[in-house]
A and B are shown apart, each in its own frame.
Chain A
Amino acid sequence: KAGVTQTPRYLIKTRGQQVTLSCSPISGHRSVSWYQQTPGQGLQFLFEYFSETQRNKGNFPGRFSGRQFSNSRSEMNVSTLELGDSALYLCASSAAGGFIDTQYFGPGTRLTVL
């Protein structure tokens, strides 16, 4: 099976702009979770989508949003970018998101905000 794919791999934006990141899960996986990784804060949970519904949300401002499509592909959007949003954004997919389900990570999107 193909792994989790994320596009684009690299992005450079300026403050105030918005950005949309895309994630295609492993075939058959219905749960997609998003994480932000920074050197200072480590890996932090943003949100999880399952069957086109947001099931969990982390402690991030409303500028961070996401959605999931009927084919389980997911997008996340960050509006009004701030310098502190520079990070590696990781998407992970699992079969159903249950507590025994393993999450498999994509290669990530490296976002730089200038």
Chain B
Amino acid sequence: QKEVEQNSGPLSVPEGAIASLNCTYSDRGSQSFFWYRQYSGKSPELIMSIYSNGDKEDGRFTAQLNKASQYVSLLIRDSQPSDSATYLCAVKGNQGGKLIFGQGTELSVKP
């Protein structure tokens, strides 16, 4: 079992729709969770971080965390073609700066 798992996609949604990206993790000691976006040929850029159970909203993005189910998700409302990228889920435990990444979900937003 991989430590952090994501659906590889590609996930295709029409412009204006809600995109839902999911991630599960295996280490119950994980303490913080991050969503990064990576455009082709570029480096990852942070979208959201979440540490407590529940929802966290930032503009069109909502991160959801359920530690009991070891599940974290990212919702993108009013999806735009510019949101087309690979979305990486990353999990951090108590080992300092070590981030464990999922394989990423490729999102395609069609005009």
Contact = CB atoms under 8 A, between A and B. Distances in A.
Interface of A: 31, 33, 35, 42-45, 48, 50, 55-56, 58, 88, 90, 92, 94, 97-108
Contacts of A50: 96-97
Residue of A43, A55, A105, A107 with most chain B CB atoms under a 10 A cut-off: A43
Interface in B74-104: 88, 90, 92-104
A55 B96 contact: yes
A55 B97 CA distance: 8
Contacts, number: 67
A58 B103 CA distance: 17
Given A48-B96, A103-B34, 11 more contacts: A33-B97, A42-B102, A43-B88, A48-B97, A55-B97, A58-B98, A88-B43, A90-B44, A94-B97, A99-B93, A108-B43
Given A42-B104, A43-B88, A103 B99 contact: yes
Interface stretch (B14-22, B45-53, B58-66): B45-53
Interface of A is mostly: strand
B37 to A, nearest CB: 11
18 contacts: A33-B98, A35-B99, A43-B88, A43-B90, A44-B101, A48-B97, A48-B98, A50-B96, A55-B97, A90-B43, A92-B99, A94-B97, A98-B96, A99-B93, A100-B49, A100-B51, A104-B46, A105-B44
Contact of B97 (A31, A42, A43): A31
B32 interface: yes
Interface of B: 31-32, 34, 36, 42-46, 49, 51, 88, 90, 92-104
B98 A31 contact: no
A42 B43 contact: no
A16 to B, nearest CB: 28
B49 A102 contact: yes
A102 B98 contact: no
Given A102-B46, A102-B49, A43 B95 contact: no
